[in-house]
Amino acid sequence: QQQVKQSPQSLIVQKGGISIINCAYENTAFDYFPWYQQFPGKGPALLIAIRPDVSEKKEGRFTISFNKSAKQFSLHIMDSQPGDSATYFCAANPNNAGNMLTFGGGTRLMVKP
């Protein structure tokens, strides 16, 4: 059972454009939502994370928007750069259950120069 659905599977954006990746979850016990960036041959790197008590969090060019009622959250990458080309994963962790992330399927982003 896929508890976190991520879309799109792949995304091509022009340099300077906005990249948007969406995730939806089912388990209302989730209360921590991180995004990870993974380059080929590397482990996932934590980008930014949000908890349900806020609707938006921004760190540099990366913004998470969170809609608790719709059980959806998204990652916006502003001014996308070729160096942002990577695979992005959303994830969710349930409350009071330790660390056990459920990941979305991933989005392969390509930023064209």
Partner 1 sequence: KAGVTQTPRYLIKTRGQQVTLSCSPISGHRSVSWYQQTPGQGLQFLFEYFSETQRNKGNFPGRFSGRQFSNSRSEMNVSTLELGDSALYLCASSWTGGAYEQYFGPGTRLTVT
Residues of this chain that bind partner 1 (CB under 8 A): 31-32, 34, 36, 41-46, 49, 89, 91, 93-106
Q: How far is the CB of 12 from partner 1 (least distance, A)?
A: 20
Q: How far is the CB of 98 from partner 1 (least distance, A)?
A: 4
Task: Tell me how far apart the alpha carbons of residues 93 and 104 are, in angstroms, rounded to a whole number.
Answer: 12
Task: Tell me how far apart the alpha carbons of residues 60 and 72 are, in angstroms, rounded to a whole number.
Answer: 22
Residue 34 or residue 80: which is nearer to partner 1 going by CB? 34
Structure tokens at 96: 């009071």
Residue 88 or residue 111: which is nearer to partner 1 going by CB? 88
Residue 24 or residue 101: which is nearer to partner 1 going by CB? 101
Q: How far is the CB of 75 from partner 1 (least distance, A)?
A: 16
Is 113 in contact with 65 (CB distance < 8 Å)?
no
Answer whether the bond into residue 40 is a cis peptide, omega within 30°.
Answer: no
